[in-house]
Structure 1
């Protein structure tokens, strides 16, 4: 479950409702590319914009169309009560794991976040991934908190933000973190522009936004990193650089949406209002970058 490439699909919206057909198409695309797992309802999946029934339906569609590839389902919400309900829904539809980010409106303390994970842990029969995504949750984990939550029986992976573009720098960080985690807790990395360096630096898996819309190039990049083919990683990263720069300026969700539109995977205006797409000039830049990857799309 927690190794290799975990692809995070968009949850496309059409006419203010989930576009189920497009979502299934995204899942099918990832399955055919050979991703190792699928992360439905992550940040790119717009989970915070969806109600409970929409989220349950998306989780069910992901599991039913994954062709046996394990599906991890995001269960983050502002209230613990809602998180527990979402965890139950995910388990009922057959999720192989759940993904929990500590969503905030009021600033959460370390003890409050630990209590959240502890309460969810008591109600799980599947593994849980701890999702540290400070850019969206506005909560940053400390290493002490990593250690505390990783001791919970259901926690089997921790997703850390990208560390450095230098794999050797990343390796120092990963090795230090491993001394504080149980042996059976995998370390995953996100932040697509830094993730291949994370794999080269010893992370077990890449939680990937771009794999949700460009799974083939993501599989190729993961394979190169796992075999320590640094030259191949460098070539692929150079080809993806225009996309990474757009991620930095406009957010990965908007860029992934534009790519999916240009590839005919989703309809125009597929984001949850009030989120809108890229400016026309940036979109053209992203389109050119994707066209240059035609041999890997």
Structure 2
């Protein structure tokens, strides 16, 4: 394991812990809905999330132009208060990623999130080269985004080790873990054995969040937290105070929602919730992504109300 020193190491570790909420980037008339987006960001800051990741997958970054991303980051940093903002900078070409990283740094973000987007199949050397090229010029920390379901690229533990030895890499966002708590803890320990001490592990895949946090992940990079922060905070804070049973109980209570995510897609479900409760205008997703149909939308809203998760505008 490489223990390369990292500037302000303890501060950086604290920055990449707890609940990082991934809000939608709502559109209206095929452009960023600045008013709705500012409202979403302020709601997250007021809720007390630990960080806000603008332009994550839930924020539809891959569908937005460079100018639209600049607009989103301006709004996020202006409305987040004291909550750190991270910015997704993924793109197909390295030169485009580097330009987006420069824009993000100019906007004043606290960190950037990078997934290895692809059309042609990536090799491990392609992906390592991407992170090496991008981190070379960074002045803020970087989160490695491992999401094989979206990127169709699977990181190995050896690749984790190589990439996290690069300068400015501060966290990795890993896919879901085994359901068995012992197996989950063993997997987190295995990943950690390949990482420098300053690099945190963040769980993604909301159904696995409670298990991941209990297994030793320091952060939750959360879809639900971007629109419905309270249940995500309930789970996160329970683990942080050592009450694993409460975290599991809340996650189990939300199991019908996790199952709906699996059937309908978490992005579409969260968009339907935001639209129904006036947090975004109707059809807020970028085409060709279409929202839930009428029956699925009604199911989602009925479930939200049955679980007592209705957001207030």
Which TM class, normalised by the smaller chain length?
over 0.9
Which residue, 16, 19, 23 being the options, matches 1:9? Answer: 23
Task: Return 5+ residue gaps in structure 1 as ranges.
Answer: none
Preserved CA contact (<8 Å) 2:25 2:32: yes
**Higher mean displacement: 120-129 or 166-175:** 166-175
The answer for the alignment partner of 2:276 in structure 1 is 262
- Superposition deviation, residue 42 in structure 1: 0.4
Preserved CA contact (<8 Å) 1:242 1:286: no
Cα distance between partner residues in 2 of 1:225 and 1:288:
29
The answer for the alignment partner of 2:266 in structure 1 is 252
Preserved CA contact (<8 Å) 1:7 1:37: yes
What aligned pairs does 1:217-228 form with structure 2 within 5 A after superposition? 217-228=231-242
Would you say how many aligned residue pairs link Structure 1 and Structure 2?
297
Cα distance between partner residues in 1 of 2:309 and 2:132:
46
1:22 matches 2:46 = no
Preserved CA contact (<8 Å) 1:216 1:296: no
Which residue, 146, 165, 181 being the options, matches 1:151? Answer: 165
1:286 matches 2:306 = no
Which residue, 68, 89, 102 being the options, matches 2:116? Answer: 102
**Higher mean displacement: 142-151 or 225-234:** 225-234
The answer for the alignment partner of 2:104 in structure 1 is 90
- Superposition deviation, residue 296 in structure 1: 7.5
1:112 matches 2:126 = yes
- Superposition deviation, residue 153 in structure 1: 1.2
Partner-residue secondary structure (3-state), 2:36? helix
Normalised to the residue count of structure 1, the TM-score between the two structures is 0.97
Which residue, 72, 85, 89 being the options, matches 1:58? Answer: 72
Cα distance per residue 1:163-201 (max 9 Å; x no partner): 123332211011111111000000001000001110000
- Superposition deviation, residue 287 in structure 1: 0.9
- Superposition deviation, residue 263 in structure 1: 2.0
Cα distance between partner residues in 2 of 1:107 and 1:4:
33
Normalised to the residue count of structure 2, the TM-score between the two structures is 0.92
Preserved CA contact (<8 Å) 1:7 1:209: yes
Preserved CA contact (<8 Å) 2:210 2:248: no
What aligned pairs does 1:237-248 form with structure 2 within 5 A after superposition? 237-248=251-262
Cα distance between partner residues in 2 of 1:113 and 1:256:
30
Preserved CA contact (<8 Å) 2:146 2:174: yes
The answer for the alignment partner of 1:204 in structure 2 is 218
Preserved CA contact (<8 Å) 1:217 1:296: no
Cα distance between partner residues in 1 of 2:18 and 2:25:
22
Cα distance between partner residues in 2 of 1:98 and 1:68:
17
Cα distance between partner residues in 2 of 1:271 and 1:264:
14
CA distance change for structure 1 residues 235 and 77 in 2, over 3 Å: closer, same or farther? same
